[in-house]
Homo-oligomer: A and B are copies of this chain.
Amino acid sequence: MTLFETLKDRCRDEWQAYTRHEFVTALGAGALPLAVFRDYLVQDFHFLVQFARANALAAYKSRTLADITAAHAATGAILAETELHLRLTERWGIPRPELEAAAEKQATVAYTRYVLDAGMAGDVLDLHVALAPCTIGYAEIGAHLAPRLDEYGGDGDGGGGGHPYGEWIAEYSGPEFTAASRAAIEQLDVLAGGGLTDRRLDELTDVFRTATRLEIDFWQQALDSVL
Contacts and interface: CB of A to CB of B under 8 A. Distances in A.
Interface residues of A, number: 49
Interface string A53-80: 1001101111111001101100110010
**How many copies of the polypeptide does the oligomer hold?**
4
Nearest to A122: B123
Interface string A95-115: 000001001101101100110
12 contacts: A49-B64, A53-B59, A56-B60, A56-B68, A60-B60, A60-B121, A76-B76, A106-B107, A113-B116, A123-B123, A192-B197, A194-B199
Contacts of A63: 121, 203
B110 A106 contact: yes
The 7 closest A-B pairs by CB, nearest first: A56-B59, A113-B113, A110-B110, A123-B123, A193-B197, A193-B199, A56-B60
A199 B121 CA distance: 21
